[in-house]
């Protein structure tokens, strides 16, 4: 019998930790840390499968915790914070967070986001094949299929889709997409992104799908959604 994955909650509010423990314990083994320093120590000692990190910690800002953590660990991190401004979300995602959920949160959405960032850990740049619902990508042959039929993408459309697939389930910020697809000098050219995302949607989305694969995170970036069930 496989052991449940381990989730570490780093939050100084006891009530939030209690709520998250109740919510998570059916799917995860849950441990708690009350501060940033304790959280970093617990991550090193316990090697969790996923981390839920608050930004408003008593000893150091959660962004500092994230920065220090990313110096030595790639553990999936979901930010759970009352800060709801796009700038805070972009800073966290660009700083290495895998997703960002604001408090108060919907339990079902939080669990789905956690599952998504864990699944994403199995999909990386070295993975030769990717599938999400009706979409399939063969990175070796650089071919893309929708419902079994190959679709022709331009080099830029393919590069954009590849970045989203390699971060499937995660919000990829405008700046990151522009940097990876068009280069460091294009980080402010968001009009490029809007145009190519429109083209990409027309080519890979299908009207009969239960949910769209490409999701816009307003003011932040885009996410390639991994459907709950792939057909």
Domain of residue 89, residue span: 6-120
Domain boundary among 102, 120, 138: 120
Domain boundary among 101, 120, 139: 120
Q: What is the pLDDT of residues 107-146, one digit of tens each?
A: 998 998 998 888 765 444 455 788 888 999 988 788 999 9
Indicate whether 170 belongs to any domain: yes
Domain boundary among 74, 92, 120: 120
**Residue pair 99/170 in contact by the 8 Å Cβ criterion:** yes
Residue 130 confidence (pLDDT): 87
Tell me, yes or no, whether 79 and 153 share the same domain. no
* Sequence-separated (6 or more) residues with CB below 8 Å from residue 156: 181, 182, 196
The C-alpha atoms of residue 186 and residue 179 are separated, in whole angstroms, by 6
Burial of 113 (0-12, 13-18, 19+ CB in 10 A): buried
**Whether residue 52 has pLDDT greater than 80:** yes
Tell me, yes or no, whether 10 and 91 share the same domain. yes
Supply φ then ψ for residue 222, to 5 degrees.
-135, 160
pLDDT band at 43 (very low <50, low <70, confident <90, very high): very high
Q: What is the pLDDT of residues 206-225, one digit of tens each?
A: 988 778 899 999 889 999 98
């Amino acid at each position: 019998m496989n052991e449940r994955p381990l989730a570490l909650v780093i939050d100084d509010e006891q009530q939030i930790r209690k709520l998250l423990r109740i919510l998570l314990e059916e799917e995860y083994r849950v441990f708690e840390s009350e501060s940033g320093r304790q959280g970093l120590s617990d991550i090193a000692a316990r090697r969790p499968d996923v981390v839920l990190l608050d930004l408003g910690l008593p000893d150091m800002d959660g962004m500092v915790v994230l920065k220090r953590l990313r110096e030595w660990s790639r553990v999936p991190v979901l930010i759970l914070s009352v800060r709801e401004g796009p700038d805070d979300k972009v800073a966290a995602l660009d700083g290495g967070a895998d997703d960002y959920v604001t408090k108060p949160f919907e339990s079902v959405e939080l669990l789905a986001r956690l599952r998504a960032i864990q699944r994403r850990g199995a999909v990386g740049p070295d993975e030769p094949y990717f599938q999400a619902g009706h979409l399939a990508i063969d990175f070796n042959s650089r071919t893309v299929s929708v419902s079994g039929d190959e679709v022709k993408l331009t080099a830029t459309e393919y590069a954009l889709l590849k970045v989203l697939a390699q971060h499937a389930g995660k919000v990829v910020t405008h700046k990151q997409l522009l940097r990876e697809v068009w280069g460091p000098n294009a980080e402010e050219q968001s009009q490029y992104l809007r145009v190519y995302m429109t083209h990409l949607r027309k080519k890979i989305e299908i009207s009969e799908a239960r949910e769209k694969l490409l999701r816009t995170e307003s003011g932040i970036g885009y996410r390639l959604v991994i459907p709950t069930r792939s057909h």
